[in-house]
Chain A
Amino acid sequence: DVKVTQSSRYLVKRTGEKVFLECVQDMDHENMFWYRQDPGLGLRLIYFSYDVKMKEKGDIPEGYSVSREKKERFSLILESASTNQTSMYLCASSPPTGIGEQYFGPGTRLTVT
């Protein structure tokens, strides 16, 4: 059974803290994605990666960075968390020829106070 796991389901951080969200997939997928989900706005793409050490900006990369040191792991970093980054964060992966065939993790609900 394919699996995408995220390090935390719920996270509470303070403004200004550095935050790491981890995502691991066990399907040997080349592509990995980070989205944030907000009510009424759907999913918005933050960053994606199509290979180890490769990354591309999505639609809303400001305030975020990513790291892909190993194929199975894709990390989202909030350098200095702000209250407007309170959201649900979803990680996904897909095979190289199946951008639309994305497998999602359960999400991390991050609250920044």
Chain B
Amino acid sequence: GEDVEQSLFLSVREGDSSVINCTYTDSSSTYLYWYKQEPGAGLQLLTYIFSNMDMKQDQRLTVLLNKKDKHLSLRIADTQTGDSAIYFCALDTGRRALTFGSGTRLQVQP
């Protein structure tokens, strides 16, 4: 099956940029997603990228996709304390369900 890997923890200072990385094994996904989970809540869809794109920008969020290396990243510019959460990448592998990574806990220090 699909393997989706993320580092477990990232700590940044408020105002810095955060980069959360994700690597995967199956390259058949049409879309690749980033979800955010705030403390005590379920996940919410943050952004996504179509597999034929290299980059997508949405306000403070930039998604980069390197299909050759099977690497997806989420960059958050001007990181705020409200961005502290767990971030999951997820792939649609064609079985009518998503495969999620292990999640990266982002801690933003004031």
Interfacial residues, chain A to chain B (CB-CB below 8 A)? 4, 31, 33, 35, 40-45, 48, 50, 56, 58-59, 90, 92, 99-107
Q: Which residues of A contact B6 (CB under 8 A)?
A: 42
A48 to B96 alpha-carbon distance, docked (Å): 9
Please report B residues at the A interface, Cβ cutoff 8 Å: 1, 4, 6, 8, 31, 33, 35, 40-45, 48, 88, 90, 92, 96-103
CB neighbours (8 Å) of B31 from chain A are 100
Given contact pairs A40-B102, A41-B102, A100-B33, A56 touches B96 in the complex (Cβ within 8 A): yes
Which among B4, B97, B102 has the greatest number of chain A C-beta atoms within 10 A? B97
Q: Determine the distance from Cα of A110 to Cα of B102 in the docked complex, in whole angstroms.
A: 20
Q: How far is the CA of A102 from the CA of B103 in the complex (A)?
A: 16
B43 with A102: CB separation less than 8 A? yes
Instruction: Please give me the residue from chain A that is nearest to B89 by CB atom.
Output: A42
Tell whether, in the assembled complex, residue A100 and residue B92 are in contact, meaning their CB atoms are under 8 Å apart.
yes
